[in-house]
């Protein structure tokens, strides 16, 4: 049975929240939180890049991966996503999310320390965390040598495409943190909430299935 469903598949009436994921290129994936806004309207809240949080209609080529919170808590997260979409916080891109804090009452982003920020994947985990839902056991995530290459490529993108040389320099000065990949966040979300936070091995195993479905 597939882990994910195509974006155009009509969800059941008791589903309100997913991790949406798509392939970009060269094995790179992108993810965000997909949520039911009203009726069958599915929106995608995602950090597209540096200071670029977007809320838009979910469409192909994304696939939806179920988020195994109970229905009541799915509705809580969906309502918070609607609120954050209205706030449109300026979220910096980065690899170390220490000090990235959303106001528990308003959802607004508090001022971030220099060189700190979120990726598309850690935006999902940070958003859930601030609502009290710890998706992953981050202490079990490994540092992988190939991720250091990816990190430098992304810093160059921040510098050249976003034009933020100061932030790029601050990113380089921060220690290299373990990378949480989009497919691993999606894989963790499939695990029942009673078993959160999810360890790396289990998330990675499901992530491999998701990657295969994206490639099919």
User: pLDDT for 144-161, tens place per residue?
Assistant: 999 999 999 999 999 988
Q: Is pTM, for the whole model, over 0.85? A: yes
Write the pLDDT tens digit of every residue in 116-148: 999 999 999 999 999 999 999 999 999 999 999
In degrees, to the nearest 5, what angle opens at C-alpha 92 toward C-alphas 158 and 186?
95
Q: 3-state class of 120 per DSSP?
A: helix
3-state SS class at 8: coil
Phi, psi of 38 (to 5 degrees): -160, 145
- Tell me how far apart the alpha carbons of residues 216 and 214 are, in angstroms, rounded to a whole number: 6
């Amino acid at each position: 049975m597939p882990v994910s469903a195509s974006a155009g598949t009509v969800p059941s009436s008791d589903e309100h929240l997913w991790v949406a994921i798509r392939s970009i290129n060269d094995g790179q994936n992108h993810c965000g939180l997909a949520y039911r806004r009203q009726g069958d309207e599915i929106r995608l809240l995602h950090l597209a890049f540096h200071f670029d949080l977007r809320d838009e209609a979910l469409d192909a080529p994304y696939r939806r991966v179920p988020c195994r919170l109970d229905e009541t808590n799915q509705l809580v997260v969906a309502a918070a996503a609607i609120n954050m979409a209205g706030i449109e916080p300026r979220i910096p891109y980065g690899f170390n999310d220490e000090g990235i804090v959303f106001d528990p009452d308003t959802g607004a982003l508090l001022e971030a320390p220099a060189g700190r920020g979120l990726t598309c994947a850690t935006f999902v985990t940070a958003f859930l965390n601030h609502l009290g839902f710890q998706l992953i056991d981050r202490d079990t995530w490994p540092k992988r040598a190939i991720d250091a290459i990816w990190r430098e490529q992304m810093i160059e993108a921040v510098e050249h495409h976003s034009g933020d040389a100061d932030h790029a320099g601050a990113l380089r000065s921060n220690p290299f943190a373990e990378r949480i990949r989009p497919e691993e966040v999606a894989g963790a979300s499939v695990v029942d909430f009673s078993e959160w936070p999810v360890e790396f091995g289990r998330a990675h195993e499901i992530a491999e299935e998701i990657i295969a479905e994206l490639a099919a």
